[in-house]
Amino acid sequence: MSIPAQPSGVPDAEPDGPEGRLRRFATIWSRAIFPSTATSMTRPEFEEHLLPLARALSDILHSRVFDATPAHRVGAALVAAHCTDPDALSSSLGVVDSYLVLYCGGNGPVELSTEDSRARCARIQHALAGGFTQALRERTLSEQEAIARSALTARSHAEQALHATEARFRAVFKDAAIGIGIADLEGNILEINDTLTRMFGGLENHVRSHKVNEWVHPEDSPYVWKYYDELVRGEREHYSVEKPYYRNDGTVLWTNLTVSLLRDSEGRPEYQLALLEDTTERRLLNLRLRYEATHDALTGLPNRTLFFERLEKALAPREGMRFGLCYLDLDGFKAINDSLGHAAGDRLLVEVADRLQSCGTAPGEMVARLGGDEFVALTTGPRTQDDVHELAGRILLALATPIRLDGRELTVRGSIGVVEGPSGERTAAEVLRSADITMYRAKAAGGNRFALADAEADARAITRHGLTTALPAALDRGEFFIEYQPLVHLGDGSVHGAEALVRWCHPQHGVLGPDRFIPLAEHTGLIVPLGRWVLEESVRQANFWQERHTDGGPLRINVNLSPAQLHHPSLVAETVDVLERSGLEPGALCLEVTESALIGADDDLLKPLRQLAEMGVDIALDDFGTGYSNLANLRRLPVSVLKLDRSFTQGMQHHPADPVDLKIVEGIVSLAHSLDLAVTVEGVETGAQAEQLRQLGCDTAQGWYYARPGAPDRIHALLLADAV
């Protein structure tokens, strides 16, 4: 059984019940917009009028199947209630944004998460703004139509009047709501009505003292004077244009001007009749609406919308035209915001915006804010190859002077991605993506610099990005697999163990080596679950070999550990767990840690390794010799194996081998042995190398000479061969 919901419209007495909260919302709303309405209602009447609109918004917020379109009607209803000022719209959106969820959030039958409510609220605002703007436009159009109709009537009346009586003509003239003037064909003004005088600033003399063809304005449309000439010559009956004039105080009056030719009773051109409708305010309103829609409220810079319009224009194919784009992101802005607060952050952005603005003032240049601490500067023209470098340099220079905020001097730096090219080749989205990637390259190189886009780097970054996002699902879908490369005793060539090396069988790119994705997995943290899987899988595999191969001593498994895994608090517990569940003894496992991961390691970092070593797990120092570690430090580390990097082996390719190389390896081996460390060499590719390394005292080896990394059953086969 369900409890029927309270029918809307029935007020409940509880002030903090749903109805009370709804009313609170309507009160706040009415308080916010009443001052900017032109309504004849009193304030309480107005609030009463808003209540059903508030209820409609609340119902939309809670609708089972969400649909924001009814909010459109709420926007239109505001216009119908004479809330036509742009402030009324922005205040309404502000109120809906801050209070709708707060007061009406819990009112409905549908349980909504905060996130859902916010998302719905945002879409409601969009629909409301859309309804408002559309209604306002329709209203303006119908007003225009009414005026145009009255102009037409006036014109035919005027014509009749001219042919009829002077008295009636005067009456039409005086009463008309639009400006009317009559001039002869030379342009001398003969008659004007009061409305026209008022439109021009109230001085009749000001209007009469000029001939019609002297009212030239720099923003005149290119056709207006051509039409005029045609009309006075009798070749045209009328024309309509939008035309600006100067009032007597120098301000500009915008009009919709309609001029008609008046002929005498024989049909010869005699007078011109002008009807002028004042459109100044409507134009200002439109400009203001457009300005608000295309500028950033905080800094006053053009916003994303306007920037995209310009960029698209710049990219449209035009012979010989090029574009240059600087995409700027401040370095470390988040830290400033977090430490000094958002108000200080905002002031900093305003200062940065001012400085940037002064960098892009040449014709064809624009500066815009895309959001947050991201800005762009665009330049267009035939020679942007040079211009864009200068522009990027100017921007860095403009940021170089510290900014004073609350008595502190803040040094603001930025990273800029620069993209330049001919028009007509790329879309705005492509250009922006390239600029974004390039900006990150500038940041990765240390920031406070600009980098130039290049197609290859873009492509690399894009696949890197693609791989990074595909990684988590790849682990779930089992796209990783492990190859094993045998470790061999240099003394007798017997297989002593194997190193587990992970690969990714990517659905599009095929098999990828660890160099392609381990750094990405480390960066995103996925290395921890991936590394855990490698450990589990290879320990399970080693145990399987162990069971099949009882003679010749235990077979060992080497598993690589990333720095991120080393830092992970459950490394020891998980390793113990994996070993216990598989039944493999700890002495058969060797964890490989790179030398560079242990340089400068403190006791906290070494503790888990030490615990594992105490349990009997071997720790190998991988890629030894590449990380410049202090040899004296080896004593501190809980390692039992040194894996000499491949570069040493490569040095032995030549015959005879470089004696200095040989001395170095010999030195390392004797030092290692004196510290009780075994030495494994990597990358053995020839028999000569193997022999050389054996003579130098190395214990075990790994390399293509013995086997490439391969499927687990290959190791099994090698073991069997050994046994024979």
Q: Residues in the site for Mg ion, rule: CB under 5 A?
A: 560, 592, 622-623, 682
**Residue 595 CB, nearest distance to ligand C2E (Å)?**
11
Residue nearest Mg ion (C-beta atom): 592
Q: Nearer Cβ to ligand C2E, position 219 or 515?
A: 515
The amino acid occupying position 122 is A
What is the spatial distance between Cα 714 and Cα 484, in angstroms, rounded to a whole number?
Answer: 8
Binding site partner of 709, from Mg ion, ligand C2E, none, Cβ cut-off 5-8 A by kind: ligand C2E
**Residue 533 CB, nearest distance to ligand C2E (Å)?**
9
Whether residue 158 contacts residue 169, with contact meaning beta carbons closer than 8 Å, is answered with yes
Q: Nearer Cβ to ligand C2E, position 22 or 495?
A: 495
Q: Nearer Cβ to ligand C2E, position 529 or 552?
A: 529
**Residue 428 CB, nearest distance to Mg ion (Å)?**
46
Q: Which two tokens stand for residue 286?
A: 């439109």
Whether residue 567 contacts residue 529, with contact meaning beta carbons closer than 8 Å, is answered with no
**Residue 659 CB, nearest distance to ligand C2E (Å)?**
23
Binding site partner of 562, from Mg ion, ligand C2E, none, Cβ cut-off 5-8 A by kind: ligand C2E
Binding site partner of 531, from Mg ion, ligand C2E, none, Cβ cut-off 5-8 A by kind: ligand C2E
Contact footprint for ligand C2E (CB under 6 A):
485, 501-502, 513-515, 518, 531, 534, 560-562, 592, 622-623, 646, 682-685, 702-704, 709
Q: How many CB atoms lie within 10 A of CB 292?
A: 13
Residue partners of 26: CB distance under 8 A and separation at least 6? 47, 50, 51, 53, 54
Whether residue 510 contacts residue 713, with contact meaning beta carbons closer than 8 Å, is answered with no
What letter does residue 425 receive in the DSSP assignment? Answer: S
**Residue 625 CB, nearest distance to Mg ion (Å)?**
10
Q: Nearer Cβ to ligand C2E, position 20 or 514?
A: 514
Helices (H), 63-183: 70-80, 86-95, 101-104, 114-163, 166-175
DSSP helix/strand/coil, 675? coil
Q: Nearer Cβ to ligand C2E, position 253 or 642?
A: 642
Whether residue 652 contacts residue 689, with contact meaning beta carbons closer than 8 Å, is answered with yes
Binding site partner of 91, from Mg ion, ligand C2E, none, Cβ cut-off 5-8 A by kind: none
Q: How many Cα atoms within 13 Å fall on the side-chain side of residue 343?
A: 1
Q: Nearer Cβ to ligand C2E, position 255 or 689?
A: 689
**Residue 522 CB, nearest distance to ligand C2E (Å)?**
8
Binding site partner of 501, from ligand C2E, Mg ion, none, Cβ cut-off 5-8 A by kind: ligand C2E
Binding site partner of 272, from Mg ion, ligand C2E, none, Cβ cut-off 5-8 A by kind: none
Apex CA 262: angle with CA 261 and CA 264, to 5°? Answer: 140
What is the spatial distance between Cα 529 and Cα 423, in angstroms, rounded to a whole number?
Answer: 47
Binding site partner of 513, from Mg ion, ligand C2E, none, Cβ cut-off 5-8 A by kind: ligand C2E
Q: Nearer Cβ to ligand C2E, position 89 or 718?
A: 718
Return the exposure string of 656-686: e unless at least 16 CB atoms fall within 10 Å of the residue's CB, then b: ebeeebbebbeebbeebeeeebbbbbbbbbe
Binding site partner of 117, from Mg ion, ligand C2E, none, Cβ cut-off 5-8 A by kind: none
Q: Nearer Cβ to Mg ion, position 324 or 683?
A: 683
Q: Nearer Cβ to ligand C2E, position 107 or 562?
A: 562
The amino acid occupying position 332 is G
**Residue 342 CB, nearest distance to ligand C2E (Å)?**
40
**Residue 722 CB, nearest distance to ligand C2E (Å)?**
19
What is the spatial distance between Cα 316 and Cα 653, in angstroms, rounded to a whole number?
Answer: 58
